[in-house]
Amino acid sequence: MTRPLQRPIRPQFSSGPCAKRPGWTPALLDNQNIKTATHGRSHRSKAGKDKLVAVIEQSKRILGIPADYRLGIVPASDTGAVEMALWSLLGPNPITVLAFESFSEEWAGDIINELHLPTKLRRADYGALPDLAAIDPADDIVFAWNGTTSGVRMPHADWIADNRTGLTICDATSAVFAMDLPWHKLDVVTWSWQKVLGGEGGHGMLALSPRAVARLQSHKPAWPLPKIFRLTKGGKLIEGIFKGETINTPSMLCVDDQLDALAWAEDIGGLPGLIARSEANAKAIADWVAKSDWAGFLAQHAATRSCTSVCLKITDSWFTAHDKDGQQAIAKDVVGLLEKEGVALDIGAYRDAPPGLRIWCGATVDRSDVEALLPWLDWAYATVKQNATPLAKEA
């Protein structure tokens, strides 16, 4: 194939940390009034705390989080937020875990192997969702809304009972700000700054429904909790966490960056604008896949295809004739060639996922860049196949 002429202006298609918003430059964080800048200042100062509160309030407003939900900034990104919820809330009720990609498998492992809690585990292979039928409404349910490593998302929340007595604990890190979440069905929701809004790593967000708060105040875990997991003191919620008083020191530079991303989100129309950008990016790939003779979606059903972490498998018979090691080598060569050309960075499938490609299509990515990338995918695969050794070509 002839090498394409047009290149993506921004080749960042990583699934985390993700591309910064269009027009972002590091200089934006320096162009602040010295009286309002919080670089080098305490997060406990009025100026620092005001900015942390602003992140919380703007996030709630854009996402449409119910007024009676608490939202706080917590340590260690989405992983920290999920672990905080698991270690603080689980124990009183039976547990069902839905595992269909790498991170939900990790949450299951922590619950079973570290907390040693009896768990009903519903698994599915990459590309599919577990059986969602007849989950006991008394169970605490732990699941991801969008499988970042599988490209599979929940199509709806009809399977969650409105009269449930258990809690729903939802890892939504690659869904928040790109998908319309049914908050009334979700008791705990976690995410991080470095996904859909392209923020920096290390900071997590934890949203709690009134039912989750009630559990925290009535349940004392049977295991010790480290400081960064503690949400209560003396049986009462530590309200300061949800008013900008973070458990440990946040990066105020990252806080300013997140505020910039939130302001951009509001400028493009808030949540509807963010969703529209992500869906448009994903549709560009769907239109290309429909005509491709070598690539397909890892997600088995259109209704469950992610609009953010779009995962592709290679369907060409030459590729599938290789064993897994051979397939991984081919996919790695395709990814490496694209990176060498400077047209796509970090788009290899997650290490535990089937060999293939993973293209981030969140709201900070421009559709024009996705469209410019697609001919390069064809070129890179054709080039790797053409240059394969004779023995590999016969496989």
Q: Is the pTM of this model over 0.85?
A: yes
Q: What pLDDT score does 40 carry?
A: 84
What are the two backbone dihedrals, phi and then psi, of residue 16, each rounded to the nearest 5 degrees? 145, 125
Q: Beta strand pairing status for 236-237 and 232-233? A: antiparallel
For the chain, the domains span: 26-266, 270-394
What are the two backbone dihedrals, phi and then psi, of residue 303, each rounded to the nearest 5 degrees? -65, -20
Q: What pLDDT score does 31 carry?
A: 63
CATH of domain 26-266: 3.40.640.10
* Burial annotation 225-247 (CB, 10 A radius, 16+ → b, else e): eeeebebbeeeebbeebbebbbb
Distances from the Cα of 352 to the Cα of 100, 107, 355, angstroms: 12, 15, 9
CA-based R_g, the chain, Å: 22
26-266 and 270-394 have identical folds: no
CA neighbor of 147 nearest in space, from 135, 159, 157, 155:
155
pLDDT tens for the chain, residues 1 to 395: 899 999 999 999 999 999 999 999 988 887 665 557 788 889 989 999 999 999 999 999 999 999 999 999 999 999 999 999 999 999 999 999 999 999 999 999 999 999 999 999 999 999 999 999 999 999 999 999 999 999 999 999 999 999 999 999 999 999 999 999 999 999 999 999 999 999 999 999 999 999 999 999 999 999 999 999 999 999 999 999 999 999 999 999 999 999 999 999 999 999 999 999 999 999 999 999 999 999 999 999 999 999 999 999 999 999 999 999 999 999 999 999 999 999 999 999 999 999 999 999 999 999 999 999 999 999 999 999 999 965 555 55
Distance CA 218, CA 239 (A): 16
What are the two backbone dihedrals, phi and then psi, of residue 111, each rounded to the nearest 5 degrees? -65, -40
Q: What pLDDT score does 200 carry?
A: 96
> Does residue 319 contact residue 297 with C-beta atoms inside 8 Å?
no
Distance CA 185, CA 182 (A): 6
Kindly report the CA angle at 373 between 353 and 150, in degrees rounded to 5?
A: 20
Q: What pLDDT score does 1 carry?
A: 84
Distance CA 203, CA 172 (A): 14
Distances from the Cα of 209 to the Cα of 69, 180, 187, 190, 231, angstroms: 5, 17, 5, 12, 14
Q: Which residue has the tokens 């023995």?
A: 391
Q: Residue 37: exposed, middle, or buried by beta-carbon count in 10 A (0-12, 13-18, 19+)?
A: middle
User: Is the peptide bond between 390 and the residue preceding it cis, with omega within 30 degrees of 0?
Assistant: no
- Topology of 270-394 in CATH? Aspartate Aminotransferase, domain 1 (3.90.1150)
In the chain, alpha helices (H): 46-63, 77-89, 102-109, 210-218, 252-267, 270-291, 317-320, 324-340, 367-386, 390-394
How long a stretch of residues is the chain? Answer: 395
User: What 3-state DSSP class applies to 262?
Assistant: helix
CA neighbor of 266 nearest in space, from 332, 185, 363, 189:
363
